[in-house]
């Protein structure tokens, strides 16, 4: 389990999305291209606008990673649409100690998203791909580890991946909203 203090230290070293991409301008173009293709629906924006609890979200990523290129901009769109989400980005290799604590299936997979309450208590860890992403990859090339960053993902798959990430944000928001500890703290 990731301790609150450990999460807080890494979270505070994290960058906002634009700052993270600025660390590797040579690879940022692929990220920008996916970002421009993705938009939240009015229903998705409405759901995010209903969030009442502050949420800290730390994305462990790699600018070189195809899965990060295809999913990172979706996460950025979610965060920008919801003032209750404070999202920071860290490079997996620069934060190797932390990354080793959020391994998935025995590997340092990215993107890995760590969801935490306003006080840094970790609620959930999700990565490296949501189910829709795995399904799409399996359809195209069973057994592939990581697609090339510039390989375009079908629009319907991108929409499904976006919705699954939104579902996880919503799940954690309900966890925070219904937490007895936080309900007592906020008097609701």
pLDDT tens digit sequence for 3-15: 999 999 999 999 9
pTM of the model: 0.90
Class of domain 4-186: alpha beta
Could you give the CA distance from residue 56 to residue 2 in angstroms, rounded to a whole number?
14
Using the predicted structure, report yes or no on whether residue 144 has a pLDDT greater than 70. Answer: no
Cβ atoms 113, 126 nearer than 8 A: yes
The rounded mean pLDDT for the chain is: 92
Question: What are the boundaries of each domain within the chain?
Answer: 4-186
Mean pLDDT of 38-57: 98
- pLDDT score recorded for residue 150: 55
pLDDT tens digit sequence for 88-104: 999 999 999 999 999 98
Mean pLDDT of 6-32: 97
Check residue 187 and report its DSSP letter: T
Percent of the chain with pLDDT over 90: 80
Phi, psi for 106 (deg, rounded to 5):
80, 5
The number of angstroms, rounded, from the C-alpha of 14 to the middle of its chain's C-alpha atoms is 13
Between 53 and 154, residue with greater pLDDT: 53
């Amino acid at each position: 389990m990731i301790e609150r203090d450990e999460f807080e230290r890494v979270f505070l070293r994290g960058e906002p999305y634009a700052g993270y991409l600025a660390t590797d301008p040579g690879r940022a173009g692929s990220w920008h291209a996916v970002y421009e293709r993705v938009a939240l629906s009015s229903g998705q924006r409405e759901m995010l606008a209903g969030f009442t609890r502050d949420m800290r979200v730390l994305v462990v990523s790699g600018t070189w990673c195809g899965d990060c290129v295809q999913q990172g901009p979706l996460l950025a769109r979610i965060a920008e649409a919801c003032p209750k989400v404070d999202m920071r980005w860290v490079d997996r290799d620069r934060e190797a100690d932390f990354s080793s604590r959020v391994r998935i299936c025995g590997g340092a997979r990215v993107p890995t998203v760590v969801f935490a309450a306003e006080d840094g208590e970790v609620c959930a860890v999700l990565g490296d791909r949501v189910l829709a992403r795995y399904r799409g990859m399996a359809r195209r090339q069973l057994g592939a580890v990581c697609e090339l960053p510039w390989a375009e993902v079908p629009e319907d798959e991108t929409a499904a991946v976006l919705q699954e990430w939104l579902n996880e944000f919503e799940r954690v928001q309900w966890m925070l909203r219904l937490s007895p500890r936080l309900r007592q703290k906020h008097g609701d």
